[in-house]
């Protein structure tokens, strides 16, 4: 705990210098608030519109969380099945890769047409952007399990499920959490994209209205919320990772 503040000082100092420079450029007229609003103006907007922003943030976060949980559950189940059936894995793997080549921005309008302006299209978008990193990292982790340990478990007459829960899953956790943290950074973005293309509420809809009204400071306020929420989400996953894998704390300490 005592080392974290010291490690963060350079980043915090650089961020503070950047914010002060940005504020000064805006205050002296080098930057127009209608183009790039000052941090103080964005902060004022956050405070003044806090009730409205809270409402839209709850909607977006709910959609992102539901989609994230569904994506992780589907990725976990599919990863288990693909690991146990190599033929199915070889058949589905190309489709998983191809699915990521289709721009999500082109599919989101179709989801709005099919499912309306409710929460369903946004959740589907979140599932699509979060699913791939989790399942690919999960499969990658199981492929790199020590085969000698698996052989030993088989010699001891362990079942496939025993091998999975006692060997493959624990050794895949670092890969799984890498995929989870990547997906967490995509979850809010996916929900916002879905809202931007058609919604009644949410930060994406709030940003769309703000842009139409040329209220740039409100758009920046939304960006600040999205960034903070994403960082907090990733931080929580990091804490869960450390709780499930306490040995990684020791590894990090030895590396430092």
Residue by residue, DSSP assigns 152-186 as: HHHHTT--HHHHIIIIIHHHHHHHHHHHHHHHHHH
100-168-256-13 Cα dihedral, nearest 10 degrees: 30
Q: How many domains does the chain have?
A: 1
Query: By percentage, how much of the chain surpasses pLDDT 90?
Result: 18
Question: What are the angstrom distances between the C-alpha of 255 and each of 175, 240, 247?
Answer: 19, 21, 13
Residue 26 domain flag:
no
Q: Given a cut of 90, is residue 204 above it in pLDDT?
A: no
Q: How confident is the model at residue 196 (pLDDT cuts 50, 70, 90)?
A: confident
State which residues form the domain around 73. 56-255
| Residue pair 116/156 in contact by the 8 Å Cβ criterion | no
Q: Which has the closest alpha carbon to 216: 55, 33, 23?
A: 33
Mean pLDDT for the stretch of residues 19-31: 79
Between 104-115 and 169-196, two packed helices, what is the crossing angle to 10 degrees? 70
Tens-place pLDDT, residues 78-121 = 988 888 888 888 888 888 888 777 777 777 778 878 887 788 88
Residue 181 domain flag:
yes
Q: Given a cut of 50, is residue 205 above it in pLDDT?
A: yes
Instruction: State residue 248's pLDDT score.
Output: 63
What CATH number does residue 213 fall under?
1.10.3720.10
Instruction: State residue 250's pLDDT score.
Output: 53
Range 102-106, long-range pairs (CB < 8 A, 24+ positions): 104/128, 104/129, 104/190, 104/193, 105/193, 105/197
Mean pLDDT for the stretch of residues 183-206: 85
Higher pLDDT, 93 or 8: 93
Tens-place pLDDT, residues 130-172 = 988 999 999 888 888 888 888 888 888 888 888 888 888 888 8
Residue 27 domain flag:
no
Residue 164 domain flag:
yes
Residue 75 domain flag:
yes
Mean pLDDT for the stretch of residues 183-193: 88
Residue 37 domain flag:
no
Query: By percentage, how much of the chain surpasses pLDDT 70?
Result: 93
Residue 4 domain flag:
no
Tens-place pLDDT, residues 50-84 = 898 999 999 999 999 999 999 999 999 998 888 88
Q: Which has the closest alpha carbon to 200: 209, 211, 189?
A: 209
Instruction: State residue 58's pLDDT score.
Output: 93
Q: How confident is the model at residue 1 (pLDDT cuts 50, 70, 90)?
A: very low
Q: Given a cut of 80, is residue 191 above it in pLDDT?
A: yes
DSSP 3-state of 29: coil
Residue 23 domain flag:
no
DSSP at 146: -
| Residue pair 229/188 in contact by the 8 Å Cβ criterion | yes
Mean pLDDT for the stretch of residues 1-11: 63
């Amino acid at each position: 705990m005592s080392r974290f503040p010291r490690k963060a000082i350079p980043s915090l100092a650089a961020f503070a210098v950047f914010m002060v420079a940005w504020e000064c450029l805006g205050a002296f007229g080098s930057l127009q608030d209608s183009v790039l609003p000052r941090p103080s103006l964005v902060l004022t907007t956050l405070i003044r519109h806090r009730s409205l922003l809270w409402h839209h943030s709850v909607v977006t976060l709910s959609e992102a969380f539901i989609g994230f949980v569904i994506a992780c559950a589907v990725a976990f189940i599919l990863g288990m099945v693909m690991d146990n059936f190599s033929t199915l894995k070889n058949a589905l793997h190309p489709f998983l890769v191809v699915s990521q080549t289709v721009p999500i921005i082109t599919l989101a309008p179709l989801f709005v047409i099919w499912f309306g302006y409710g929460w369903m299209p946004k959740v589907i978008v979140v599932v699509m952007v979060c699913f791939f990193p989790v399942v690919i990292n999960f499969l990658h982790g199981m492929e790199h399990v020590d085969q000698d340990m698996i052989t030993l478990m088989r010699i001891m007459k362990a079942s496939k499920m025993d091998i999975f829960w006692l060997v493959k899953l624990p050794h895949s956790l670092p890969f799984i959490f890498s995929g989870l943290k990547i997906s967490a950074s995509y979850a809010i973005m996916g929900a916002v994209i879905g809202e931007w293309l058609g919604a009644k509420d949410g930060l994406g809809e709030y940003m769309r209205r703000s842009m139409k009204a040329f209220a740039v400071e409100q758009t920046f306020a939304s960006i600040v919320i999205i960034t903070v929420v994403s960082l907090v989400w990733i931080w929580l996953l990091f804490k869960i990772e450390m709780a499930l894998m306490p040995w990684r704390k020791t590894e990090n300490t030895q590396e430092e």
